[in-house]
Amino acid sequence: MSKIYTLEFSSIQNTQGTVCFTDHARDQQVNVRINIDDTGFQCRLKVEYPSKIADLIDLAVAIHGSDRLVRQPFDQPSCQIKVILPVRNPDLLNSKLFQEKLEKLMHWATGSNWCFSFTKRDDQKRSAEENTLCDLPIDVNEVALWSGGLDALAGLYNRICDAPNGLFILCGSGSNNIIFKIQKQTFDAIEFLFPNRLKLYRVPIGFYNSKKCPKNPISRSRGIVFTLIGSACAYLMGKRVLNVYENGIGAINLPYRDSALGLDHTRSVHPRTLVMVSELISILWEESFKIENPFLFWTKAQMCQVLVKNQAIDLAFLTKSCDKSLHQNPSQCGYCSSCLLRKQSLLAAGIEDKTKYYISHASSSIKQNYYLYLNNILEQVKTLYDLLNTYDEFDQQWNAITNQYPQLDYEILDYLELNYPDLSRNNIRDLLLNLYRNYIDEWNRVKSQVQATIEDYNHDE
């Protein structure tokens, strides 16, 4: 029997917001303080702060809070999560179409069954909803998410080089102070190289008293939360497109193998996720909105080559890629899949990896796990290599890879056609095959070097 949880939120405010978290199986109830600091949006291009935009941000906070409080292990039955949230437009958010899209999106991203009930919010506004403006250049190139990660940095650098004029607006969110610090440090470093070309909006979500209940270690809805807040930012800056900078391998995130079920298999910026969030927002705002990933057909190493070309490789070492929640220094483990792909991409791009990893300081009890991620990644690379080298014909290669990974057809190709109307189905298939060919080639060139970074510490007892 699946577990049932209810999360009843007060009106989302800059301060003094709460959520009542009920675990029905344990008959436990905990009140947690939660708020959002969106005051930065007082500086915007749009004169109005529409109530639908504010509702979208409230929804993002509620999803973030719910996902953080409800533990959803991969090896247990999916749970039922009921969210009660006051909003300004309850009739619209309670509509059948919006509810169906939202519940389908949340089930796809988390594997759990979500139910939303939207009530009428009181009249109290957050400060950002007031008509306060500041001077911003009208020529905004694009609005993009800003994570402080290597993809975000390399993606932004590529986009700036392609557009010598105009402003790039970046939006970062979350509830991790360490990540916020990295976002700011990385932003400051690249802004120094491109003065007057960048503006960063940081929208922190605050949690207080959350130690009363265990934190969910796997945030499966993170991508949805960030894209919802980023989309609100894009609208307030006069844009109807939000950009996400993520390499195609990481975005698609094919499963490594059956025995590795749940191992870093996030759908944060999966093409289907981006399309589903775009559709949800378009329904709420009653106008077309898109979330796009301009680097879907690039590998991480290809994205990083711009840093080599422009002698800016030191910027890479300001970023954080690690999946682990390490609160000490170094803060990147060096052996999770994200750290390994970081190592692989930097080496394949011709960059000596000077990142400091925690792996060199780990205790012997942890060392047995060092190869878990690497072995799964290399097994996947071998599988892809065998599939693409068994046949010479394009159609045969595609059939071979989709027999092994059928989601490339029904989760990827079908949704990419919606986002890339100028490309034929065959064009998209060819781009995807080239993506994996490049990825395989990169691994074959640097595999021994990446393996050495693990072996060095496995023998250091």
Q: Could you give the CA distance from residue 35 to residue 18 in angstroms, rounded to a whole number? A: 8
pLDDT of 7 above 90: yes
At 382 the pLDDT is 97
- Pick 300 or 175 by higher pLDDT: 300
* Residue 82: strand pairing partners: 6, 115
pLDDT of 201 above 60: yes
pLDDT of 256 above 70: yes
pLDDT of 145 above 90: yes
Distances (CA, A) of 187 to 27, 142, 308, 342, 356: 45, 16, 19, 19, 20
Q: Could you give the CA distance from residue 381 to residue 437 in angstroms, rounded to a whole number? A: 10
Q: What is the mean pLDDT of residues 80-94?
A: 98
Q: Which of 29-38, 147-156, 202-211 has the lowest mean pLDDT?
A: 202-211
HEC letters along the chain = CCCEEEEEECCCCCCCCEEEEEECCCCEEEEEEEEECCHHHHCCCCCCCCHHHHHHHHHHHHHHHHHHHCCCCCCCCCCEEEEEEEECCHHHHCCHHHHHHHHHHHHHHHCCEEEEEEEECCCCCCHHHCCCCCCCCCCEEEEEECCCCHHHHHHHHHHHHHCCCCEEEEEEEECCHHHHHHHHHHHHHHHHHCCCCEEEEEEEEEEECHHHCCCCCCCCCHHHHHHHHHHHHHHHCCCCEEECCCCHHHHHCCCCCHHHCCCCCCCCCCHHHHHHHHHHHHHHHCCCCEEECCCCCCCHHHHHHHHHHCCCHHHHHHCCCCCCCCCCCCCECCCCHHHHHHHHHHHHCCCCCCCCEHHHHCCCCCHHHHHHHHHHHHHHHHHHHHHHHCCCCHHHHHHHHHHHCCHHHHHHHHHHHHHCCCCCHHHHHHHHHHHHHHHHHHHHHHHHHHHHHHHHHHCCC
Q: What is the mean pLDDT of residues 209-233?
A: 83
Task: Name the band, by pLDDT with cuts 50, 70 and 90, for residue 211.
Answer: low
At 209 the pLDDT is 67
Measured between alpha carbons, how far apart are the two ends of the chain, in Å?
A: 45
At 217 the pLDDT is 62
At 401 the pLDDT is 97
pLDDT of 459 above 50: no
Tens of pLDDT, residue by residue over 403-423, are 999 999 988 998 898 888 899
At 215 the pLDDT is 67
Which CATH number describes the domain made up of 140-292?
3.40.50.620
Q: Could you give the CA distance from residue 194 to residue 172 in angstroms, rounded to a whole number? A: 19
Domain boundaries, the chain: 4-129, 140-292, 330-458
At 349, the amino acid letter reads A
Name the residue among 287, 288, 282 with its Cα closest to residue 98.
282
Q: What is the mean pLDDT of residues 295-322?
A: 97
Contact 437, 388 (CB under 8 A): yes
CA 257 to chain centre: 22
At 457 the pLDDT is 54
